[in-house]
Amino acid sequence: MRDFISRAARLWLRHWRPLYLRLPLLPPAFFCMILGYEVCNWINVTLGAPRWWSIPVATHWDWEIPFLPGSLPLYLSFISFYFLPKALLREPYRNEAYYAAMHQALQLTTLVSCVIFLLAPTPVELRVQALTALDSAHLPHWLRAGCEGLFAIDGEYNAWPSLHVSQPLLIMLAVQQLRLFSPLLRRLLWLHWGLMALSVLTMKQHYLWDVFTAVLLAVTYWLVWLSPRLRAAVVPTRPQMALGL
């Protein structure tokens, strides 16, 4: 078994790792986030979600926000943010230390969020509004099927903090500090993040409290953990050419 692991490690370092660094693949942190999220949801559903720590998160403002099924594509676009750190592995920026620090920060964010999901499982009761609206709305078949599929796959727990908001924000803070891409593209990415964060509310997937705690978690990790490590990482050879796309 030890020999097998050793050979697999050598194969990864020699062949698969260089290929992974070249291809625009999602980072392992994304799949760990999805796995942790779904496992926590399954545990909460199976155990009936006993609350060790309860906070009343729903407000009347949450119920006033309209359900907008057309924001589904924007809601699903959060996946695109996970491709951004791979830019650090491209020429001329090429800095694996930065990439590793961002990857570790995303993993830690997942870990803290999953602990909260299990300690304070909060059902998203706002979905009643969405399901009622779907019954009466005249929507294209693909949009109705997409909304119903989302609610079927994504359990009602794991409300706060919203990983949908926190991890893309953490990525964007790093993109801003490292000055990845051109200033115009960074502004567009920030606009995209803002609209995507708003979509978690209009899709009735989260409360305002979930977004607030997600931003708080991301900023805390950024200030305490990720930003100092990015400053301490190896400086690229030609930082002035940091992917000015």
Which of 9-23, 32-46, 65-79, 127-141 comes out lowest in average pLDDT? 9-23
Region 209-216 average pLDDT: 94
Share of the chain above pLDDT 90, in %: 38
In this structure, are residues 199 and 74 in contact, taking their beta carbons and an 8 Å threshold? yes
Span of 118-122, 165-169, 204-208 with lowest mean pLDDT: 118-122
pLDDT at 240 over 80: no
Could you check whether the bond before residue 69 is cis, i.e. omega within 30 degrees of 0?
no
- Decide if pLDDT at 230 tops 90: no
DSSP 8-state secondary structure symbol assigned to residue 90: S
Q: Is the pLDDT of residue 201 over 50?
A: yes
At residue 153, the pLDDT reads 83
The C-alpha atoms of residue 115 and residue 118 are separated, in whole angstroms, by 5
What mean pLDDT is reported for the chain?
81
Q: In what helix (H) or strand (E) does residue 103 lie, and over which residues does it extend?
A: helix 96-119
Q: What is the pLDDT of residue 25?
A: 62
Checking if the pLDDT of 238 tops 50, the result is no
Per-residue pLDDT tens over the stretch 77-125? 999 999 888 877 766 566 777 888 888 899 999 999 999 988 888 888 8
Q: Tell me the pTM.
A: 0.83
Looking at per-residue pLDDT, the higher value among 213 and 159 belongs to: 213
Q: Exposed/middle/buried for 46, CB within 10 Å: 0-12, 13-18, 19+?
A: exposed
Give the residue among 174, 167, 173, 176 at the shortest CA–CA distance from 217.
Answer: 167
Tell which residue, 61, 51, 170, has the closest CA to residue 105.
170
Q: Which residues contact 173 (CB under 8 A, 6 or more apart)?
A: 218, 219, 222, 226, 227
For residue 104 the two structure tokens come to 């570790």
Cα(40)–Cα(49) distance, rounded to whole angstroms? 10
For residue 239, the model assigns a pLDDT of: 43
Residue 141: pLDDT band with limits 50, 70, 90: confident
- Give dist(CA 206, CA 158) in Å, integer: 9
- The DSSP result for 16-31, as a single string, is IHHHHHHS-PPPHHHH
Q: What is the CA radius of gyration of the chain?
A: 20
Task: Of 117, 131, 120, give the one whose Cα is nearest residue 204.
Answer: 131
